[in-house]
Amino acid sequence: MVRKIKNKNKDQIGLKKVRLKFQMLSAEMLETEIILDECMIEFNERFETGVENKTAESSQEIIKKEEKSSFEKNEEKKEREREKNNIENREILPKDKDLGELFKKIALKTHPDRLNDKDDDDAEYLIELYKEAANAAEIGDGMSLLEIAYELDINVKINPKKEIKWLNKKIESIYESIEEMKSTAEWIWGHSDGAERERVEKMVSSQLGFKIRTTSHDTSDE
């Protein structure tokens, strides 16, 4: 027996598939970030990464500096994306009513004037989302507005083809971010073992100039 699909629509089915793909990739990126953080901890315990007074610093202090560096790089990337979107969408932005409507729905849940009943942590989180949404609306970044709307469980009602287009751009960006994380020395080293890890460690030492920390295990092997 073939089940009948109510209000069957090719565009809606296509949108559902792309939304699922976006959700899966977003989860994969979060998982990749967590794994990379774990690799960074082990990496900084194994190598002297050139931080001043590194022998006196704990691994956690080194990790915090490394995370700050990664955060700054991420912010620089976001700024480049904002500039690119601004250039690409400057002329079409005033004509796009969907951006304005989507931002209004987000603002209803995140505007600082509407957060009096929230605790400090929730309010801070929502205010950051509001700032991101305001910037995205200003430069015509529909894919970021969609991401925020999904996070807030907002019912998105725009043309399916347009939503698919925005989502595909975001999916491409997520793919790039995941590949960037997996191409770091920390990730490659953390996912190698045996002879392969020895080869990677030699490359890290020669190309990045990081010295391998001497351990009791290393000494006993000599």
Half-sphere exposure of residue 74: CA atoms within 13 angstroms, side-chain side: 12
Neighbours of 16 (CB within 10 A): 11
Residue 74 confidence class, pLDDT cut points 50, 70, 90: low
CA-based end-to-end distance of the chain? 71
pLDDT in tens, 25-66: 999 999 999 999 999 999 999 998 764 433 334 444 444 455
pLDDT in tens, 83-118: 655 544 444 444 578 888 889 999 989 988 888 888
What are the tokens at 198? 């020895």
- In this predicted structure, the answer to whether residue 122 has a pLDDT above a threshold of 70 is yes
Q: What are phi and psi for residue 77, nearest 5 degrees?
A: -65, -45
Rounded alpha-carbon distances, angstroms, from residue 117 to 51, 52, 61, 64, 109: 44, 45, 36, 33, 12
> Which pLDDT belongs to residue 82?
57
pTM: 0.67
What are the tokens at 128? 């950051």
pLDDT above 90 covers a percentage of the chain that reads 35
Helix (H) or strand (E) holding 212: strand 211-212
The beta-carbon contacts of 40-47 under 8 Å, at least 24 apart in sequence, are: 40/66, 40/67, 40/186, 42/190, 43/185, 43/186, 43/189, 43/190, 45/213, 46/189, 46/201, 46/212, 46/213, 47/204, 47/205, 47/210, 47/211, 47/212, 47/213
> Which pLDDT belongs to residue 85?
53
Judged by average pLDDT, the poorest of 61-75, 157-171, 184-198 is: 61-75
Strands (E), 43-152: 47-48
Contact between 164 and 15 under an 8 Å Cβ cutoff? The reply is yes
Mean pLDDT of the region 58-82: 55
Q: What are phi and psi for residue 48, nearest 5 degrees?
A: -90, 110
Strand partners, 94: none
